[in-house]
Chains A and B, each alone.
Chain A
Amino acid sequence: MADLHFTADTATDAEAAAVDALVGPDDAAVLFETERLVRGGQARRHERRHLLLPVLHALQAEIGWISPGGLNYACDRLQVPPAEGYGVATFYEMFRVDDPGHTESVVHVCVDAACQVADAAGRIAVLEAEGKHVHRSPCLGQCERAPAVFIQGRGEPDTVPADATDVFEHRQTGRDQSQLPLTHWLGVVDPTSLDSYRAHGGYEALAKAIELGAEAVIAAVTESGLSGRGGAAFPTGIKWNGVHDQTGRPKHVVANCDESEPGTFKDRILMENDPFSIIEALTVAGFATGAENGWIYVRGEYPLATSRLEHAIAQARDAGLLGADAAGSGHSFDIELRRGAGAYICGEETALFNSIEGFRGEPRNKPPFPTTHGLFGEPTAINNPETLINVLHIVLHGAAAYRSRGTERSPGTKLYCLSGAVGRPGLYEIEFGATLRSVVEQAGGVQGNLQAILMGGAAGGFVGPDSLDLPLTLEDAREAGTTLGSGVIMVFDDTVDMTPVLVRIAEFFRNESCGQCVPCRVGTVRQHEVMVQLQTNGSLAADRVQLIDDMARAMADASICGLGHTAAGAVQSALKLGIIGGTQ
């Protein structure tokens, strides 16, 4: 791609400087060595394409939008076709390609379920009355402190106002937290200090892993029965072994920190309060799979998590825990952090790869699977922070100790994100097998009369009060026709009108569908239209309910990724429970 055609728009000095800070003239895809010698070509272009997302972030942060001139400049530097650059810029919630007409920061207010019920509309009204520029945002991952706010800075860093006063505290009372594998260091270790982390036993797992060797680590992970905590529950040991077995090409391990399932905030709390655990666990993953490249892809709306991780990576690198001979392992391993820019679909692993690579975050067909064709088409193991941190415990204490918690088929503990009408919304680590009732009670119990609980987020489904005795394991949830998903337990009391909640969930999927697969692109729109009809008319004709079911089947059968597979789950379960609409 070389004879690119640009519009006549040129970058301002500020825009050029923002791009040059990341891709200077000497780093550009085309290098003018002399008047008669120019370097370029496919290899230089491919090597730089992954800088597109950071460059777009830089333009957005500096100027408040991505102007045609700025985009031209960025695309020229990286030799990205400008139409593709535009396609990427318009893919993300946090990027604007139209002049906002002001120079101030923008206040994002979450309008998804937990915040919607917690009067996000009232918060927006207040902010707008103050003259703030408000953007109505999909879930910001702060459901425990609804309504959530995130400020996208212009000429100042992005911030979350609630972070300023929020100090992590364990809210489960009467239990000894110190033995829990995932949350024992939260609120105990100083998240900004590698020394503090090591003083509490940090990096012992990596030392043990090096001592055991890669094969033994993978064997322990496999034996532990650990499965992915993002919702799909794929066995982690099998995934790692698949990458371990690939040879002769560069390999990658990726921490999927793009948590964006509405109702989910567990990984954010881990990243903010225990970033070193994620970095240590990712290093163990790199060591075990033989990958030299670690990547952390973190949600754009998580500024504190981002800065804590960046700080932790730098400290680890300074201490020799990352680098050519990471932690004395004889294995080269380093981590690069990438910020997402607001796209639910980028939590899907192959969409995330495309996003890092500088393309639209559209999922890829599988197979081939990431273990053979992942990031940059190379073998890749991708896990979320919760899954990764489990590994530290497994390596240190062995598979048997790990399996002593939980059930036979769901060993270990699970993080739950409690929000909505409960006494103490927040993050809870509880062994698999506890009933839904006991989990809700540990969070202070239902406030008011229980109407319904959203399990697993927008991609999950609603259950009614009769499900409170459901044991929370992967297998029991599946059998009961629901899901633990990413651990969302969002409680609604009987004062909540569920119809607007379902309208919003349907709108969420309509907005977040990437549009590649026709059933999902069209189906999510039809579903939203039906929900709006329900809100307008108060009830639904039988054929409309049938349409929802037909669309759900088409999306499940013919979409390539989980978004389409699950986009109708919440609406279908709500109709079935009777918490929205009766038929006419």
Chain B
Amino acid sequence: MFGAGGGTCSYKEIEETDVILLWGSNAREAHPIFFHHLLKGLDNGAQMYCVDPRRTSSSKFADMWLGIGVGTDIALANGIAREIIHAGLTDDDFIAHSTDGYEAFKQSVEPYTPDLVAGITGVPASAIRELAHAYGSADKAQILWTLGITEHHNAVDNVLSLCNLSLLTGHVGRWGSGLVPLRGQNNVQGGGDMGALPDKFPGFQDLTDPGSRAKFEAAYGTFLNPEPGLHLTLMFEAMERDELNAVYVIGENPADSEADIQHARKLLEGLDMLIVQDIFMTRTAEMADVVFPASIAWAETHGTVTSSERRVQRVRPAVTPPGQARHDTDILIALAAALGSELGPKDPAEIWQEVCSLSPVHKGMTWDRLEAEGGLQWPCPDVDHPGSPFLHGWLWEQDLGGRGPAPFSVVEHEGPKEQLTEEFPWRLTTGRALDSYNTGVQSSGYDSPIRSGEALDVNPADAAELGLLDGERVTVTSPRGSVEMSIRIQPDIPRGLTFTTFHFPELVDANVLTNDAWDPRSGTAEFKAAAIRIDKIAVPAGG
């Protein structure tokens, strides 16, 4: 947010906030540990508004669920913004001092009247007003989101539309108020922090900035390519153009997880060289020329992970890795050595020292402090700094410290790329279930008492219209392909919408259906909005 890739709040803050706006996130199932913090907030009296096309299990904890149409998030956010402005609930001092571009933004949201937005989103105008007033007049309020916001072709605009709301009301940079994108793994944050992005060095230092580049070149004694690399979606496009022929995949299973999966698999198969480094023999690993078995980070290695609240914390091995499995850094260092390059120390504490020396936000987090203080939250610029529970407190300082004010962003409603047609009249969205994890690599090998299996959730009235029975097998087809799966009649899903998880690609290859239209600024595909057709499977006559 505003120049730093991390949630602005600590987990503790949601326990003390007044209004929680959970948007495009089924945290109850996808972020169950974080959800415990959220539940404490509800117990302490916070109100929660959930915005989600489905009445998810998270939504069932909400004071109000707004079941917007898939991909209409920006219309709703702009409508809320307009209502906040018209109701006089803006924080005018904050806007004047700490933000930029308010007038243009104000004009841009003016057309988004409650009635217009109600028409676009499908939720009543009165509810839009109520949500705007609750958020706008709260003392402390947070907006939390996950993939319901970011797995769209206009993901960045979606995020910016939510940031606008926090700037209007001053709900950022203060204890209890903020913007929180929840991370899907214990160390997604850490990956980005360490520069696992095509255009960033560790600590979100820009690759294109000559100063940053000079610092890293000096530290490593080598030339660094100033051209940003490719993110995942661009890599697949480069494979398609035959410009990318060798891929080294670490801890990712794109052969199951990509949108329009048949296409993605074909591209992976066409590579000259595929190397996979993973803790499991994934479908991608099965396609690989070389597989490096890795040890499990959280149970078999020394190191650190960084949570969604930017807290760097130590992990320690509890068991010895089996067989030939090795620590990821071991593998990388050995591979580099075989290629004739010395990557430096192997010891995790020494590697961490290197991070502290090169990343200003991590500078004060010595290995000993991480150990002694139970983790620290970046930015932590020196060894006396206590770490930062929340980000962007500077927005509230009299002197912004040389930083520019936070900009409003003018964003417009577009809707999903793939429109419903007569041929594909049903909207499909995808998501996750509590007891499973992504493509099932780490979870489907275990039994679960609450596992309900892969099925297409359909509203009862829609099922009746299609003449479908609960559990009936159908063919589901999108412009990209077809899969056969069962119907689950589900009253919590609005009419016209269908839903499936994608945890069992061996059984139901749900990503055959999903759309790989993607946002050029984030590289994320529109998993959340495909158009499909549902066909009964013809029963042979007399059968």
Decide: A37 and B65 in contact? CB cutoff 8 A. Answer: yes
A-B contact pairs, 16 of them (CB 8 A): A1-B61, A33-B127, A34-B124, A35-B494, A36-B66, A36-B67, A36-B123, A37-B66, A38-B55, A38-B62, A40-B65, A41-B47, A42-B42, A42-B43, A42-B45, A43-B47
Instruction: Give the residue of A35, A36, A41 whose beta carbon is less than 8 angstroms from that of B61.
Output: A41
Chain A residues closer than 8 Å to B127, beta-carbon distance: 33, 37
User: How far apart sit A174 and B59, CA to CA, in the bound complex (Å)?
Assistant: 72
Q: Count the A-B residue pairs with Cβ separation under 8 angstroms: how many?
A: 60
Decide: A2 and B64 in contact? CB cutoff 8 A. Answer: no
Query: With contacts A1-B61, A36-B123 known, what are 17 further pairs, Cβ within 8 A?
Result: A3-B28, A3-B61, A35-B67, A36-B67, A36-B122, A37-B67, A37-B127, A38-B65, A40-B62, A40-B63, A40-B65, A41-B42, A41-B47, A41-B64, A42-B43, A43-B63, A44-B63
B27 within 8 A of A: no
Decide: B124 and A37 in contact? CB cutoff 8 A. Answer: yes
Decide: A39 and B64 in contact? CB cutoff 8 A. Answer: yes
Asked whether A35 and B62 contact (CB < 8 A) given A3-B28, A42-B43, A43-B47, the answer is: no
Decide: A40 and B60 in contact? CB cutoff 8 A. Answer: yes
Nearest CB of chain A from residue B243's CB, rounded to whole Å: 45
Chain A residues closer than 8 Å to B43, beta-carbon distance: 42
What bracket does the count of chain B residues touching chain A fall in?
Answer: 20 to 34
B356 within 8 A of A: no
Chain B residues closer than 8 Å to A1, beta-carbon distance: 61
B residues sitting closer than 8 Å to A (CB atoms) are 28, 42-43, 45, 47-48, 55, 57, 59-68, 122-124, 127, 494-495
Decide: B47 and A38 in contact? CB cutoff 8 A. Answer: no
Nearest CB of chain A from residue B470's CB, rounded to whole Å: 13
Chain B residues closer than 8 Å to A2, beta-carbon distance: 57, 60-62
Decide: B64 and A3 in contact? CB cutoff 8 A. Answer: no
Q: A5-46 CB contact bits vs B (8 Å, 1 = yes)?
A: 000000000000000000000000010011111111111100
Decide: B60 and A33 in contact? CB cutoff 8 A. Answer: no
Nearest CB of chain A from residue B481's CB, rounded to whole Å: 30
Decide: B48 and A33 in contact? CB cutoff 8 A. Answer: no
What residue of chain B has the Cβ atom nearest to residue A1's Cβ? Answer: B61
Nearest CB of chain B from residue A369's CB, rounded to whole Å: 23
User: How far apart sit A3 and B42, CA to CA, in the bound complex (Å)?
Assistant: 14
Of B48, B63, B66, most A-chain CB atoms within 10 Å: B63
What residue of chain A has the Cβ atom nearest to residue B67's Cβ? Answer: A36
Considering the complex, which residues of chain A in the window 395-450 have a beta carbon less than 8 Å from any beta carbon of chain B? none
What residue of chain A has the Cβ atom nearest to residue B57's Cβ? Answer: A3
Chain B residues closer than 8 Å to A36, beta-carbon distance: 66-68, 122-123, 494
User: How far apart sit A42 and B64, CA to CA, in the bound complex (Å)?
Assistant: 11
Decide: B64 and A37 in contact? CB cutoff 8 A. Answer: yes
User: How far apart sit A34 and B128, CA to CA, in the bound complex (Å)?
Assistant: 14
User: How far apart sit A44 and B64, CA to CA, in the bound complex (Å)?
Assistant: 11
Chain A residues closer than 8 Å to B122, beta-carbon distance: 36
Decide: B55 and A33 in contact? CB cutoff 8 A. Answer: no
User: How far apart sit A38 and B64, CA to CA, in the bound complex (Å)?
Assistant: 6
Nearest CB of chain B from residue A250's CB, rounded to whole Å: 15
Instruction: Give the residue of B45, B47, B48, B495 whose beta carbon is less than 8 angstroms from that of A35.
Output: B495
6 nearest CB pairs, A to B: A41-B63, A36-B67, A2-B60, A2-B61, A3-B57, A38-B65
User: How far apart sit A35 and B59, CA to CA, in the bound complex (Å)?
Assistant: 14
User: How far apart sit A37 and B129, CA to CA, in the bound complex (Å)?
Assistant: 13
User: How far apart sit A34 and B48, CA to CA, in the bound complex (Å)?
Assistant: 18
How many residues of A are counted as interface, with CB atoms below 8 angstroms from the partner's CB atoms? 16
Chain A residues closer than 8 Å to B42, beta-carbon distance: 41-42
Nearest CB of chain A from residue B150's CB, rounded to whole Å: 22
Instruction: Give the residue of B48, B57, B67, B495 whose beta carbon is less than 8 angstroms from that of A41.
Output: B48
User: How far apart sit A42 and B495, CA to CA, in the bound complex (Å)?
Assistant: 27
User: How far apart sit A481 and B66, CA to CA, in the bound complex (Å)?
Assistant: 66
What residue of chain B has the Cβ atom nearest to residue A36's Cβ? Answer: B67
User: How far apart sit A2 and B61, CA to CA, in the bound complex (Å)?
Assistant: 5
Decide: B123 and A41 in contact? CB cutoff 8 A. Answer: no
User: How far apart sit A35 and B494, CA to CA, in the bound complex (Å)?
Assistant: 6
Decide: B494 and A38 in contact? CB cutoff 8 A. Answer: no
What residue of chain B has the Cβ atom nearest to residue A35's Cβ? Answer: B494
What residue of chain B has the Cβ atom nearest to residue A5's Cβ? Answer: B450
What residue of chain A has the Cβ atom nearest to residue B63's Cβ? Answer: A41
What residue of chain B has the Cβ atom nearest to residue A41's Cβ? Answer: B63
Nearest CB of chain B from residue A248's CB, rounded to whole Å: 15
Of B64, B68, B124, most A-chain CB atoms within 10 Å: B64
Decide: A33 and B62 in contact? CB cutoff 8 A. Answer: no
Chain B residues closer than 8 Å to A34, beta-carbon distance: 123-124
Decide: A38 and B59 in contact? CB cutoff 8 A. Answer: yes
Nearest CB of chain A from residue B338's CB, rounded to whole Å: 51
Chain A residues closer than 8 Å to B60, beta-carbon distance: 2-3, 30, 40
User: How far apart sit A315 and B68, CA to CA, in the bound complex (Å)?
Assistant: 50
Chain A residues closer than 8 Å to B28, beta-carbon distance: 3
User: How far apart sit A41 and B65, CA to CA, in the bound complex (Å)?
Assistant: 10
User: How far apart sit A2 and B59, CA to CA, in the bound complex (Å)?
Assistant: 9
User: How far apart sit A40 and B58, CA to CA, in the bound complex (Å)?
Assistant: 11
Of A34, A36, A44, most B-chain CB atoms within 10 Å: A36
What residue of chain B has the Cβ atom nearest to residue A30's Cβ? Answer: B60
Instruction: Give the residue of B61, B66, B123, B495 whose beta carbon is less than 8 angstroms from that of A40.
Output: B61
What residue of chain B has the Cβ atom nearest to residue A43's Cβ? Answer: B63
Chain B residues closer than 8 Å to A30, beta-carbon distance: 60
Nearest CB of chain A from residue B339's CB, rounded to whole Å: 51
User: How far apart sit A262 and B47, CA to CA, in the bound complex (Å)?
Assistant: 47
Nearest CB of chain A from residue B120's CB, rounded to whole Å: 12
User: How far apart sit A38 and B42, CA to CA, in the bound complex (Å)?
Assistant: 17
Chain B residues closer than 8 Å to A38, beta-carbon distance: 55, 59, 62, 64-65, 67
Asked whether A41 and B68 contact (CB < 8 A) given A33-B124, A34-B124, the answer is: no
Nearest CB of chain B from residue A498's CB, rounded to whole Å: 52
User: How far apart sit A41 and B59, CA to CA, in the bound complex (Å)?
Assistant: 9
What residue of chain A has the Cβ atom nearest to residue B43's Cβ? Answer: A42
User: How far apart sit A34 and B61, CA to CA, in the bound complex (Å)?
Assistant: 17
Chain B residues closer than 8 Å to A40, beta-carbon distance: 60-65
What residue of chain B has the Cβ atom nearest to residue A31's Cβ? Answer: B64
What residue of chain A has the Cβ atom nearest to residue B53's Cβ? Answer: A36
User: How far apart sit A44 and B47, CA to CA, in the bound complex (Å)?
Assistant: 11
User: How far apart sit A36 and B117, CA to CA, in the bound complex (Å)?
Assistant: 14
Chain A residues closer than 8 Å to B64, beta-carbon distance: 37-41
User: How far apart sit A155 and B350, CA to CA, in the bound complex (Å)?
Assistant: 79
Instruction: Give the residue of A3, A33, A35, A39 whose beta carbon is less than 8 angstroms from that of B63.
Output: A39
Chain A residues closer than 8 Å to B62, beta-carbon distance: 2, 38, 40-41
Instruction: Give the residue of A3, A37, A39, A42 whose beta carbon is less than 8 angstroms from that of B123.
Output: A37
Nearest CB of chain B from residue A8's CB, rounded to whole Å: 13
Nearest CB of chain A from residue B103's CB, rounded to whole Å: 33
User: How far apart sit A38 and B45, CA to CA, in the bound complex (Å)?
Assistant: 19
User: How far apart sit A464 and B63, CA to CA, in the bound complex (Å)?
Assistant: 63
Nearest CB of chain B from residue A125's CB, rounded to whole Å: 50
User: How far apart sit A80 and B515, CA to CA, in the bound complex (Å)?
Assistant: 41
Chain B residues closer than 8 Å to A44, beta-carbon distance: 63
User: How far apart sit A29 and B378, CA to CA, in the bound complex (Å)?
Assistant: 42
Chain A residues closer than 8 Å to B495, beta-carbon distance: 35
User: How far apart sit A204 and B74, CA to CA, in the bound complex (Å)?
Assistant: 66
Chain B residues closer than 8 Å to A37, beta-carbon distance: 64-67, 123-124, 127
Nearest CB of chain B from residue A288's CB, rounded to whole Å: 30
Chain B residues closer than 8 Å to A39, beta-carbon distance: 63-65
User: How far apart sit A37 and B123, CA to CA, in the bound complex (Å)?
Assistant: 6
User: How far apart sit A39 and B123, CA to CA, in the bound complex (Å)?
Assistant: 13
Q: A187-219 CB contact bits vs B (8 Å, 1 = yes)?
A: 000000000000000000000000000000000
User: How far apart sit A30 and B61, CA to CA, in the bound complex (Å)?
Assistant: 10
User: How far apart sit A35 and B55, CA to CA, in the bound complex (Å)?
Assistant: 10
Chain A residues closer than 8 Å to B123, beta-carbon distance: 34, 36-37
Nearest CB of chain B from residue A520's CB, rounded to whole Å: 30
What residue of chain A has the Cβ atom nearest to residue B68's Cβ? Answer: A36
Of A30, A34, A44, most B-chain CB atoms within 10 Å: A34
Nearest CB of chain B from residue A3's CB, rounded to whole Å: 4
Nearest CB of chain B from residue A203's CB, rounded to whole Å: 40
User: How far apart sit A425 and B381, CA to CA, in the bound complex (Å)?
Assistant: 85
Chain A residues closer than 8 Å to B57, beta-carbon distance: 2-3
